[in-house]
Amino acid sequence: MTNLPLKRVVITGLGAITPIGNNPLEYWQGLTEGRNGVGLITLFDSSKHACKIAAQVKGFDPFDYIDRKEAKRMDRFAQFAVAGSKQAIADSGLIITDLNAEDIGVIIGTGVGGLKVLEEQQEVLLTKGPSRCSPFMIPTMIANMAAGLTAIHTGAKGPNNCTVTACAAGSNAIGDAFRLVQRGYAKAVICGGTEAAITPLSMAGFSSAKALSHRNDDPAHASRPFDRDRDGFVMGEGTGILLLEDLEHALDRGAKIYAEIVGYAMTCDAYHMTAPVPDGQGATRALELALKDAGLQPEQVSYINAHGTSTPANDKTETKAIKKALGQWAYQIPVSSTKSMTGHLLGGSGGIEAVATVLAIANDRVPPTMNLENPDPECDLDYVPGKSRAHVVGVALSNSFGFGGHNVTLAFQKYA
């Protein structure tokens, strides 16, 4: 099978549950309008926390997608994934039956999995004793359950996996799904990332690690990638899902095509548990290898959706990497961080940012980087400050970098 010519792989369906919209259309409108998704935390009492802000999903009702009894046995991260996957399948027009189920796979990444359930059950253990812990705790909290439950709720019986590479997990999931379809191991794969880490323990841990912005008095301006005054990322939650499909399979059933995925690369810094290597060499190699995989030259790139976390180290390191990989061409193209509006979804970020990148290609418009008021001198590219921009997007890259030194770049292009 692997000796056969590589398949072309296209995106035929999208799903999104985000802090600025609970379907792809709402999400895209939010991005192009520069909508702010950050506010004071309402999911739990944050009065004792140093960081009291996050980008929460608003108005999401899991019962719109999942039976009430089943939804109550799912952590929020898995509810998001199942909902987003159902959106993507419906958007694609693909009907999963007994005849094609084994040809359709699922790969959904997450950074931390079911933290909410874990924390709640820890409290039960301490206050009521071990015998009172739920028998559903383990199958609810484990990271692979988003992918497993998505298969259960959609009937997809093909390859099924979960990537857990911190903030690169969603992009790894999409890249791995690309390889499966490209090499003929599946006709279609539901893929992306999901996260629901706005929880007391998670927020305390990231805050203690000095990773979070503490702009509690001004949440709307807390996430400010590439800005001189950035002080950390804002935690977000949600899911971004793509349906990747063999081009021939998509054409045979008359599917609409948003874009084509043409390149994928992953590298490791092998440097530090949380900090990127200062010269950006790992991210540089990911960019270069993704272009090589796609058979593209730097001058063909017309947009980059940056990882752009709003942390002091990441933003300047990513800027270095883009300039090293693309040379002078880096100054000629728009680069934006949608985390300025959605916050950072950890393992879910690669999913929603891939959705944004694909929609940028489909609409020939690039989303802005909000709150970029005082550019960092070390971040000197065109970051599309403050307002979305009409721009023909033929080839777009999406970057994701994670704790542990994981680097991923995905390459998409306009379908022709």
% of the chain surpassing 90 pLDDT: 99
Domains and CATH numbers, the chain: 9-252 (3.40.47.10), 266-409 (3.40.47.10)
Rounded (10°) angle between helices 312-326 and 281-294: 40
% of the chain surpassing 70 pLDDT: 99
Catalytic residue among 51, 153, 162, 307: 307
pLDDT band at residue 407 using 50, 70 and 90 as cut-offs: very high
What is the full DSSP assignment across 90-150?
HHHT----TTTGGGEEEEEE-SS--HHHHHHHHHHHHHH-GGGS-TTHHHHHSTTHHHHHH
Q: Using one digit for the tens of pLDDT, what is the confidence trace for 173-231?
A: 999 999 999 999 999 999 999 999 999 999 999 999 999 999 999 999 999 999 999 99
| Rg, C-alpha atoms of the chain | 20
Catalytic residue among 51, 162, 191, 344: 344
Q: Could you give the 3-state DSSP secondary structure of residue 31?
A: helix
Residues in the chain: 416
Catalytic residue among 167, 191, 249, 379: 167
- Kindly state the tokens that stand for 301: 């790139």
What is the per-residue pLDDT for 96? 98
- pLDDT higher than 60, residue 32: yes
CA distance 34 to 277: 31
- pLDDT higher than 70, residue 1: no
Q: Using one digit for the tens of pLDDT, what is the confidence trace for 85-137?
A: 999 999 999 999 999 999 999 999 999 999 999 999 999 999 999 999 999 99
pLDDT band at residue 237 using 50, 70 and 90 as cut-offs: very high
Is residue 307 among the annotated active site residues?
yes
Is residue 167 among the annotated active site residues?
yes
Identify the H or E element spanning 262: strand 259-268
Cα angle, residue 163 at apex, residues 308 and 222 outer, rounded to 5° = 25
Average pLDDT value for residue range 242-262: 98
**DSSP character for 159?**
-
Q: Using one digit for the tens of pLDDT, what is the confidence trace for 147-173?
A: 999 999 999 999 999 999 999 999 999
Which bin fits 263, alpha (ψ -120 to 50), beta or left (φ > 0)?
beta
Q: Are 359 and 338 in contact (CB under 8 A)?
A: no
Average pLDDT of the chain, as a whole number: 97
Q: Using one digit for the tens of pLDDT, what is the confidence trace for 45-94?
A: 999 999 999 999 999 999 999 999 999 999 999 999 999 999 999 999 99
Between the CA of residue 36 and those of 257, 339, 341, 373, what are the distances in Å? Answer: 29, 10, 5, 15
Average pLDDT value for residue range 22-51: 98
Q: Using one digit for the tens of pLDDT, what is the confidence trace for 301-343?
A: 999 999 999 999 999 999 999 999 999 999 999 999 999 999 9
What is the per-residue pLDDT for 159? 98
What is the per-residue pLDDT for 4? 75
